Amino acid sequence: MSGRPGIDDRPQEVLAARAQALARPPALEVPRDQLRLLTFSLSGERYAIELRHVVEVFRLSSLSPLPRAAAPTLGLTAWRGELLPVLDLRQILETPARGLDDLGFAIVLGEERAPIAVLADALDDILSTAPERVRPAPEGVAVHRDYVRGVTEDARLVLDGERLLETHR
């Protein structure tokens, strides 16, 4: 201590503490009652899935066909030193497929279980919304309803990640 009030003789400690506090990434402030959704598109259709089911997203650089694999498995891709099955949502949801023009992205889904990936043409955004703002899918929607949680206000189908993981392991 220098003996003068208000003056700290430990400038290095103070600077280190400040630097550490400033280096922390800002906390994402999303209210607990909000759904966080990854939004994406596939064959011109717009989808969303709860972020809690998403492990990782990466650009798909290769897809190896799996002989005699049952639909909706498109094939396998390498992921973190493992072989990861890639599923085609178009087959699961019974929507028209345009073929594979480009490999696009793999959205890896998993929660303490063996992961799977679903194909996406483009990744759009991450959004937060109140659960009550996700409405039930209208009766006229021609999809396999077991895999759809609802529809967002901007007409994205919100997929049921738990159901996808349970059914397609």
| Domains parsed from the chain with CATH numbers | 35-167 (2.40.50.180)
Local confidence band at 132 (pLDDT 50, 70, 90 cut-offs): very high
Query: What does DSSP say about strands 122-129 and 116-120: parallel, antiparallel, or unpaired?
Result: unpaired
Local confidence band at 25 (pLDDT 50, 70, 90 cut-offs): low
The CA–CA distances, whole Å, from 113 to 9, 88, 110, 133, 169 equal: 53, 19, 6, 29, 9
Residue 158 and residue 49 in contact, taking contact as beta carbons nearer than 8 Å? yes
pTM of the model: 0.76
